[in-house]
Structure 1
Amino acid sequence: MRNPNSLEEVAEIQSLLTDIKKEYNDGIRAVLEKNHPNLFRNVHTVPKLKKIHINRGLGLSAQNTNILKKSIQEFSLITGQKPIITRAKKAIAGFKIREEMELGLTTTLRGEKMYAFLTKLIFFTFAQIRDFRGLSVRSFDKAGNYTLGLKEQLIFPEIDYEDVDQVQGFSITLVFSASNPKTRSRTFDRVLNGMILLKFLRFPLKDCGYYEKYTSLPEVNQVWDKKRHLRRKRWSQE
């Protein structure tokens, strides 16, 4: 394991802070191709961050004009981009929801804004979370994208504590792009690609070390299949 206080470690973090997009193109992508030739034989199979979705559900509170305007202002400060108001697609009488009713906010970051938000998220925002112990690798979905939830907006440096009337969180989804060959098009391979890239980007995943004791991918795949079988067996008994 590398020493977090070594000069190489400090230099690597500084390069990421300077320009995370340039560091990926000039450094991380080349290292992935060199160190994992069996996984990334083609440059198009190397995982890449495509976009970041940020969502906030307000529910019936969105009918309050002041709450909605405040949320839009917070979104604009945090992401540097004005959000889109999400509306109900159909009416649900039991939840008092009408069709086209305003329910929340969403925004999609690409390009420079995406990398700027990612740098802030990794190196500044997570450090402000109380008793933060890392993020779980189980938050990957079947497409290999990673979703995490933040409980409050106060952890972002742009938000002033005195200006916050109500504590509200976010849902953040990192969408990855990688063209896997047909031999590696399973969910396991998509998750593995995203996990490798996030570790290189210094994303604080806490339970990646669990799989370091296995020497090959087939062994890890067997463990995943075993867990899936046990889970199905437990469901069938309930």
Structure 2
Amino acid sequence: MLNQHSIEEISEIYSLLDNIKEEYKNGIKPIILKNSPNLFKNPHTVPKLKKIQINRGLGLAAQNTNLLKKSIDEFEKITGQKPVITRSKKAIAGFKIRENMELGLTVTLRGEKMYAFLTKLIFFTFAQIRDFRGFSLRSFDKAGNFTFGLKEQLIFPEINYDDVDQNQGFTITLVLDNCLPKYRSTTMDRILNGLILFRFLRFPLNDSGYYDKHSSFADINRVWDRKRHLKRKRWSQE
């Protein structure tokens, strides 16, 4: 028999599945404002998802019309939106690339399609990855956006195994809308905002404990500055 905590957790998940956008507006955002009034004095500074970008690089294989059409069809099934074909901006003779040559596909999701895709990722797709242990916190960039890669398209429920001739992955970027005040506009503040939002959305991050041994963000900054200094020193000696 399920205990009370399990029932509460299941009900929260069903609430997120029903409408993750409404859950953010009526549940997540008020809780963040209530629990962290010092960090978020203005409701507009609360972190929120702005858009999701899905990219696939095909390289010279994009010149194969059948392969390109198949990739476009997979994008439409997975995202519910027709992708844009990315083209080269200039010619590179060494890589046999001509100017305006088709090289890949990209899709930008906003609004309802963005939240529907996020829900599918968190509660269905990640569960299909073998030996999945979550994503690294170091996938955040300086702007506070989170980028990760998926190795194959078969983990999406819309893709039929018999229709796949070749495994092809994606690069997915979760772009956050960070409207931070000037006194909280550092890289660590942007990453902190992303961590807070992902925590409420149950996004799987695996190495949160890596930073438990540090007493403050200033301590973490010193560690990363030391690592950057060692890298510069090694490069200068090569």
TM over 0.5: yes
Alignment map for 1:164-203 (pairs within 5 Å): 164-203=164-203
Question: Residues 5 and 161 from structure 1, CA distance in 2 versus in 1: closer, same or farther, beyond 3 angstroms?
Answer: farther
Aligned residue number for residue 205 of structure 2: 205
TM-score normalized by the length of structure 2: 0.94
Aligned residue number for residue 230 of structure 2: 233
Per-residue CA shift, 1:50-103, capped at 9, x if unaligned?
Answer: 000000000000000000000000000000000000000000000000000000
State the superposition RMSD in angstroms.
1.6
Q: For the residues of structure 2 that align with 1:65 and 1:179, how far apart are their CA atoms?
A: 43
Aligned residue number for residue 48 of structure 2: 48
Aligned residue number for residue 61 of structure 2: 61
The answer to whether the 8 A contact 1:4-1:10 is kept is no
Q: Which runs of 5+ in 2 are unaligned?
A: none
Q: For the residues of structure 2 that align with 1:21 and 1:46, how far apart are their CA atoms?
A: 14
Q: For the residues of structure 2 that align with 1:171 and 1:65, how far apart are their CA atoms?
A: 22
Aligned residue number for residue 95 of structure 2: 95
SS at match of 1:54: strand
TM-score normalized by the length of structure 1: 0.94
Q: For the residues of structure 2 that align with 1:128 and 1:105, how far apart are their CA atoms?
A: 24
Q: For the residues of structure 2 that align with 1:221 and 1:163, how far apart are their CA atoms?
A: 51
What is the CA distance between 1:211 and its match in structure 2? 3.2
Q: Which letter does structure 1 place at the counterpart of 2:119?
A: T
The answer to whether the aligner puts 1:152 opposite 2:149 as a matched pair is no
Total equivalences in the alignment: 233
The answer to whether the 8 A contact 2:211-2:220 is kept is no
The answer to whether the 8 A contact 2:188-2:217 is kept is no
SS at match of 2:52: strand
SS at match of 1:192: helix
The answer to whether the 8 A contact 1:88-1:99 is kept is yes
Q: Which runs of 5+ in 1 are unaligned?
A: none
What percent identity do the matched residue pairs reach?
69
Aligned residue number for residue 221 of structure 1: 218
Aligned residue number for residue 6 of structure 2: 6
Aligned residue number for residue 38 of structure 2: 38
What is the CA distance between 1:235 and its match in structure 2? 2.7
What is the CA distance between 1:9 and its match in structure 2? 1.4
SS at match of 1:133: coil
